[in-house]
Amino acid sequence: MTIISIEGASAAGKTTTSAALAHQNRAFHIPEVATWWKKPAQEYAEWFFERQVDRWRIATEKEQDGEVIIDIDLFQTFWYNWAFDFTLFGGQSLEFVEDFYRPLLSQRKLGFPDKYFILYTNEANLRERRVNDKTRLRRGFELNLKFIEPQKRYFQALNNFFPGIVCFIESIDIESNVTKIRNELPNCKNAHRYSLELFDYMVYWLKENIACRA
């Protein structure tokens, strides 16, 4: 079947779109880590990475019954920390994250989704949605605004390397988001799920490109 991942800035509509699509398509929605798991009192560096392994395991189990929607990229740790010059999470380096992920990809305990859907809109819309949404605090909203441009460049690079792996969708409203994603689902391919070539390119590109342009 099909495993997709939905990404975008805070308030772009990732979670609501994922839930609506799951409802309409009778798909299985895997939310972000914080929804299903509580951080341990003594959190260790790899704890968040291990939850991505859990989410992939659930995705591959549930796809036997139908489509699976992963809310937020399993490989987010790579590009999110890169977007902030590897100053977050105690200064975890790209090499540190790569060393954790690489063997798991080889063992098929982690994989790439069949297609990424990146929701985007302008900053004014994001701010308005944040104010109007009383259900979430969005404490990291201002910080997350800073990764929008680097995130776009990163996913454009992935799509240039592997055409069709990424679909950018202007997030106008949830209904149109869902419609656009549903129309793209027949074009999803899974030949790259455990591609070390794609993984190597991702790591190489992050090493060779600076997130924050002067």
Q: What would the CATH number be for the domain defined by 3-208?
A: 3.40.50.300
Model confidence pLDDT, tens digit, residues 62-71: 999 999 999 9
Helix or strand or coil: residue 18?
helix
In our burial notation (b when 16+ CB lie closer than 10 A, e otherwise), range 26-54 reads ebbbbbbbeeeeeeeeeeeeeebbebbbe
On whether the CB atoms of residues 70 and 113 are closer than 8 A, the answer is yes
Domain boundaries, the chain: 3-208
pLDDT average, residue stretch 20-49 = 94
When the pLDDT of each residue in the chain is averaged and rounded to a whole number, the result is: 93
Tens digit of pLDDT for each residue in 170-195?
Answer: 999 999 999 999 999 999 989 999 99
43 band by pLDDT with thresholds 50, 70 and 90: confident
Quote the CA–CA distance of 16 and 176 in Å, as a whole number.
12
pLDDT digits (tens, 9 = 90+) for 13-25: 999 999 999 999 9
The residue to which tokens 């549930």 are assigned:
62
Which pTM was predicted? 0.93
- Token pair, residue 164, equals 């069709």
**pLDDT given for residue 155 in this prediction:** 98
Q: Mean pLDDT highest for which of 7-16, 20-29, 82-91, 135-144?
A: 20-29
Q: What pLDDT, on a 0 to 100 scale, did the predictor assign at position 213?
A: 56
Q: Output the six-digit token pair for 85.
A: 């010059």
CA dihedral (71, 77, 81, 83) positive or negative: negative
Q: Compute φ and ψ for 120, nearest 5 degrees.
A: -145, 155
Q: Give the per-residue pLDDT at 137.
A: 65
Q: Which carries the bigger pLDDT value, residue 146 or residue 202?
A: 202
Taking 3-state DSSP, the helix, strand and coil percentages for the chain, each rounded to the nearest 5, stand at 50, 10, 40
